[in-house]
Structure 1
Amino acid sequence: MSNRQIQTDREWLIFIEKDIDTLDQQIYHAKWTITQSQSALERLCAARDSLLAQAQEILDRLDGKSSV
Protein backbone atom coordinates (compact mmCIF):
# COMPACT_ATOMS: atom_id res chain seq x y z
CA MET A 1 0.00 0.00 0.00
CA SER A 2 1.45 3.37 -0.98
CA ASN A 3 1.91 6.29 1.37
CA ARG A 4 -0.67 8.21 -0.63
CA GLN A 5 -3.24 5.43 -0.20
CA ILE A 6 -2.50 5.24 3.52
CA GLN A 7 -3.01 9.00 3.85
CA THR A 8 -6.25 8.82 1.86
CA ASP A 9 -7.52 6.00 4.08
CA ARG A 10 -6.66 7.98 7.22
CA GLU A 11 -8.53 11.00 5.87
CA TRP A 12 -11.55 8.83 5.15
CA LEU A 13 -11.43 7.53 8.72
CA ILE A 14 -11.45 11.11 10.01
CA PHE A 15 -14.52 11.92 7.88
CA ILE A 16 -16.26 8.75 9.03
CA GLU A 17 -15.49 9.53 12.67
CA LYS A 18 -16.98 13.02 12.30
CA ASP A 19 -20.10 11.55 10.67
CA ILE A 20 -20.45 9.03 13.49
CA ASP A 21 -20.11 11.81 16.08
CA THR A 22 -22.80 13.82 14.31
CA LEU A 23 -25.10 10.81 14.15
CA ASP A 24 -24.49 10.08 17.84
CA GLN A 25 -25.55 13.63 18.69
CA GLN A 26 -28.68 13.32 16.56
CA ILE A 27 -29.53 9.99 18.17
CA TYR A 28 -29.08 11.49 21.64
CA HIS A 29 -31.38 14.41 20.82
CA ALA A 30 -33.97 12.12 19.22
CA LYS A 31 -33.99 9.88 22.30
CA TRP A 32 -34.33 12.93 24.55
CA THR A 33 -37.25 14.18 22.45
CA ILE A 34 -38.94 10.78 22.61
CA THR A 35 -38.52 10.68 26.40
CA GLN A 36 -39.99 14.16 26.74
CA SER A 37 -42.87 13.25 24.44
CA GLN A 38 -43.61 10.10 26.43
CA SER A 39 -43.65 12.10 29.66
CA ALA A 40 -45.97 14.66 28.13
CA LEU A 41 -48.23 11.91 26.80
CA GLU A 42 -48.39 10.30 30.24
CA ARG A 43 -49.35 13.65 31.81
CA LEU A 44 -52.03 14.22 29.17
CA CYS A 45 -53.46 10.73 29.70
CA ALA A 46 -53.49 11.26 33.47
CA ALA A 47 -55.30 14.58 33.03
CA ARG A 48 -57.84 12.94 30.70
CA ASP A 49 -58.40 10.09 33.17
CA SER A 50 -58.93 12.59 35.95
CA LEU A 51 -61.48 14.51 33.89
CA LEU A 52 -63.30 11.30 33.01
CA ALA A 53 -63.46 10.37 36.70
CA GLN A 54 -64.84 13.80 37.57
CA ALA A 55 -67.41 13.56 34.80
CA GLN A 56 -68.48 10.13 36.05
CA GLU A 57 -68.89 11.50 39.59
CA ILE A 58 -71.11 14.28 38.27
CA LEU A 59 -73.16 11.85 36.19
CA ASP A 60 -73.58 9.58 39.21
CA ARG A 61 -74.76 12.53 41.33
CA LEU A 62 -77.22 13.56 38.65
CA ASP A 63 -78.54 10.00 38.52
CA GLY A 64 -78.90 9.98 42.31
CA LYS A 65 -76.18 7.39 42.82
CA SER A 66 -73.45 7.63 45.41
CA SER A 67 -69.90 7.87 44.17
CA VAL A 68 -67.64 5.09 45.43
Structure 2
Amino acid sequence: MEKITKSTLIGELLRIDGDGFTPILLEIGMHCLGCPSSQMESIEEACIVHNTNVDALVDKLNAHLASMKA
Protein backbone atom coordinates (compact mmCIF):
# COMPACT_ATOMS: atom_id res chain seq x y z
CA MET A 1 0.00 0.00 0.00
CA GLU A 2 1.40 3.34 -1.05
CA LYS A 3 -0.62 5.62 1.16
CA ILE A 4 -3.61 5.47 3.48
CA THR A 5 -6.55 7.66 2.47
CA LYS A 6 -9.95 8.55 3.90
CA SER A 7 -11.45 5.77 1.80
CA THR A 8 -9.11 3.04 3.09
CA LEU A 9 -11.12 0.36 4.85
CA ILE A 10 -10.57 -0.42 8.53
CA GLY A 11 -10.30 -4.11 7.61
CA GLU A 12 -7.52 -3.32 5.15
CA LEU A 13 -5.56 -1.44 7.82
CA LEU A 14 -5.84 -4.36 10.20
CA ARG A 15 -4.66 -6.81 7.53
CA ILE A 16 -1.61 -4.64 6.79
CA ASP A 17 -0.50 -4.27 10.43
CA GLY A 18 -3.14 -5.01 13.04
CA ASP A 19 -0.62 -4.82 15.87
CA GLY A 20 0.52 -1.36 14.80
CA PHE A 21 -2.73 0.25 13.69
CA THR A 22 -5.00 -1.14 16.43
CA PRO A 23 -3.56 1.01 19.25
CA ILE A 24 -3.91 4.14 17.10
CA LEU A 25 -7.57 3.36 16.41
CA LEU A 26 -8.31 2.38 20.00
CA GLU A 27 -6.74 5.63 21.20
CA ILE A 28 -9.51 7.62 19.50
CA GLY A 29 -12.30 5.38 20.74
CA MET A 30 -12.68 2.88 17.91
CA HIS A 31 -13.21 -0.13 20.14
CA CYS A 32 -15.34 -2.11 17.67
CA LEU A 33 -12.48 -3.25 15.42
CA GLY A 34 -13.53 -6.90 15.66
CA CYS A 35 -17.06 -6.14 14.53
CA PRO A 36 -17.73 -7.62 11.06
CA SER A 37 -19.28 -4.38 9.79
CA SER A 38 -16.26 -2.33 10.82
CA GLN A 39 -14.15 -4.37 8.41
CA MET A 40 -16.02 -2.80 5.50
CA GLU A 41 -16.11 0.72 6.94
CA SER A 42 -13.83 3.43 5.57
CA ILE A 43 -11.65 5.53 7.83
CA GLU A 44 -13.80 8.54 6.94
CA GLU A 45 -17.02 6.74 7.88
CA ALA A 46 -15.53 5.58 11.17
CA CYS A 47 -14.37 9.10 11.98
CA ILE A 48 -17.85 10.47 11.38
CA VAL A 49 -19.32 7.90 13.78
CA HIS A 50 -16.63 8.60 16.39
CA ASN A 51 -16.59 12.39 15.91
CA THR A 52 -12.89 12.35 15.07
CA ASN A 53 -10.84 14.54 12.72
CA VAL A 54 -10.27 12.30 9.71
CA ASP A 55 -7.31 14.28 8.34
CA ALA A 56 -5.41 14.08 11.62
CA LEU A 57 -6.06 10.33 11.86
CA VAL A 58 -4.99 9.70 8.25
CA ASP A 59 -1.76 11.64 8.92
CA LYS A 60 -1.07 9.54 12.02
CA LEU A 61 -1.79 6.28 10.19
CA ASN A 62 0.47 7.29 7.29
CA ALA A 63 3.25 8.16 9.75
CA HIS A 64 2.98 4.63 11.16
CA LEU A 65 2.96 3.17 7.63
CA ALA A 66 6.12 5.15 6.78
CA SER A 67 7.83 3.90 9.93
CA MET A 68 7.11 0.31 8.84
CA LYS A 69 9.00 0.93 5.59
CA ALA A 70 12.00 2.53 7.28
The verdict on a shared fold, with TM-score over 0.5 as the criterion, is: no
Which structure: larger Rg? 1
Question: Is the helix fraction higher in 1 or 2?
Answer: 1
* TM-score grouping bracket, smaller chain normalisation: under 0.3
TM-score, with structure 1 as normaliser: 0.27
